[in-house]
């Protein structure tokens, strides 16, 4: 039936999400989900939405959630945009802010949805190589462009970019929008949100899927100058004027407001990551510096695909990327509970004997 497809669909190479296997007794360390559940206050708020009001549309502006986000970061609600997961927010940003005559710039090893959006919307793009140590070299982005986007920390490497380098990038690119995708920033990197009042070309995008344990709720948001937020809103209201349902608004707002739980669980993930890195290095792995809730590691004597397959035989799932070939030796390993990470290390000890 592909003869009915549009030319755009024929040419698309869709994003491939992380595997969600339906197997019992798995140690699932492949999709960067938080090992700790959502805030109890968020769960209570979700239960509170069950009732007759579900027959009514939700607030199209999600004002309650925007106010909670604005209060958390010390910005104005007019500087906040919310969407159905950060992927939807990113999609709107590509169309609203990054589609210009000059190409949008992003790293060659990064979130693989970026080139998919470019293909979907017909956006010219150029991928700039990371350094030999898998870091973003800011000076490479000092060239004509229709916008710049990158995750911080980067994915799948986990390597952070210093805030001073982000500011240098902003100062050199005042004529285009710089989008910083901070999906993992709460696990050890420095957020750029504090720069939005000084740089009207900066948009910072977050998700509640990682540090607030709400991957199943699908909520993301952006913070930036009101002009950038208005552009995102114009696209949203031309696409889906009710992106967040009543459950998402209530649960997300409660999660944002529960700062203590958020800080506690992030600290637990960081502590486990530190121990896991030490254990992996003791087994002969090279582990890139990570400020995320995952690590990117390779072993000098063992192929990444082989290690992933042998871990799967032991019901432990990690993420392996065969492309580009430069990262094929690596495994991306989510930081789970202490018990899950101990199971991983134990299995690797058996495999590496």
Give the tens place of pLDDT for each residue, 29-48: 999 999 999 999 999 999 99
Instruction: Output the average pLDDT for the chain.
Output: 96
For 222, the token pair is 């952006």
Select from 338, 334, 344 the least CA-distant residue to 311. 344
Q: What is the pLDDT of residue 2?
A: 82
Report the relative pairing of strands 316-320 and 294-299 from DSSP bridges: unpaired
Which range, of 89-93, 250-254, 290-294, 300-304, averages the lowest pLDDT? Answer: 300-304
Query: Residues for the chain: how many in total?
Result: 353
**DSSP character string of 33-101:** --SSPPPHHHHHHHHHT-SGGGGSPPPTT-HHHHHHHHHHHT--GGGEEEESSHHHHHHHHHHHHS-SS
Q: How many CA atoms lie within 13 A of 121 on its CB side?
A: 23
Q: What is the pLDDT of residue 246?
A: 97
Cα 328 from Cα 322, distance rounded (Å): 5
% of the chain at pLDDT higher than 90: 91
- Name the residue with higher pLDDT: 6 or 166: 166
Q: What is the pLDDT of residue 1?
A: 53
For 109, the token pair is 């090893």
Cα 123 from Cα 223, distance rounded (Å): 23
For 202, the token pair is 């900066």
Q: What are phi and psi of 287, to 5 degrees?
A: -120, 120
Q: What are phi and psi of 277, to 5 degrees?
A: -60, -45
Residue 266 CA, chain-centre distance (Å), reads: 15
Q: What is the pLDDT of residue 6?
A: 87
Which helix (H) or strand (E) covers residue 151, if one does?
Answer: strand 147-151
Q: Is the pTM of this model over 0.75?
A: yes
Give the tens place of pLDDT for each residue, 294-342: 999 999 899 999 999 999 999 999 999 988 889 999 999 999 999 999 9
Residue 315: how many CB atoms within 10 A of its CB? 15
How much of the chain is in helix, strand and coil states, percent to nearest 5?
A: 40, 15, 40
Which range, of 21-30, 57-66, 107-116, 256-265, averages the lowest pLDDT? Answer: 21-30
Q: What is the pLDDT of residue 150?
A: 98
Q: What is the pLDDT of residue 223?
A: 98
Cα 181 from Cα 179, distance rounded (Å): 6
- Residue 21 pLDDT grade (very low, low, confident, very high; cuts 50, 70, 90): confident
What are the structural domains, with CATH classification, of the chain?
20-37+260-351 (3.90.1150.10), 40-257 (3.40.640.10)
Q: What is the mean pLDDT of residues 182-205?
A: 98
Select from 172, 199, 175 the least CA-distant residue to 79. 199
In this model, does residue 114 exceed pLDDT 70? yes
């Amino acid at each position: 039936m592909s003869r009915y497809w549009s030319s755009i669909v024929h040419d698309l190479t869709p994003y491939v999400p992380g595997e969600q296997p339906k197997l019992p007794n798995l140690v699932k360390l492949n999709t960067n989900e938080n090992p700790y559940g959502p805030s109890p206050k968020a769960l209570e708020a979700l239960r509170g939405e069950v009732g007759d009001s579900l027959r009514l549309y939700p607030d199209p502006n999600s004002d309650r959630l925007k106010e909670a986000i604005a209060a958390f970061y010390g910005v104005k609600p007019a500087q906040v945009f919310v969407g159905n997961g950060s992927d939807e927010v990113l999609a709107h940003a590509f169309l609203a802010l990054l589609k210009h005559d000059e190409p949008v710039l992003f790293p060659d090893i990064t979130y693989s949805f970026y080139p998919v959006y470019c293909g979907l919307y017909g956006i010219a793009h150029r991928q700039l190589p990371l350094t030999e140590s898998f870091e973003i070299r800011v000076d490479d982005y000092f060239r004509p462009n229709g916008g710049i986007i990158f995750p911080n920390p980067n994915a799948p490497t986990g390597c952070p970019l210093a805030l001073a380098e982000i500011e240098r990038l902003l100062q050199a690119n005042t004529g285009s929008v710089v989008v910083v995708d901070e999906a993992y920033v709460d696990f050890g990197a420095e957020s750029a949100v504090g720069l939005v009042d000084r740089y009207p070309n900066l948009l910072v995008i977050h998700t509640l899927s990682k540090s607030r344990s709400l991957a199943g709720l699908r909520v993301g948001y952006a913070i930036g100058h009101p002009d950038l937020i208005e552009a995102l809103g114009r696209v949203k209201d031309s696409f889906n004027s009710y992106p967040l349902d009543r459950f998402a608004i209530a649960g997300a707002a409660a999660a944002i407001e529960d700062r203590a739980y958020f800080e506690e669980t992030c600290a637990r993930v960081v502590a486990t990551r530190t121990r896991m890195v030490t254990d992996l290095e003791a087994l002969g792995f090279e582990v890139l510096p990570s400020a995320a809730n995952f690590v990117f590691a390779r072993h000098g004597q063992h192929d990444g695909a082989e290690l992933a397959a042998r871990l799967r035989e032991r019901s432990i799932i990690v993420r392996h990327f065969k492309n580009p070939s430069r990262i094929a030796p690596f495994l991306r390993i989510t930081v789970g509970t202490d018990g899950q990470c101990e199971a991983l290390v134990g299995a690797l000890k058996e495999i590496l004997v």
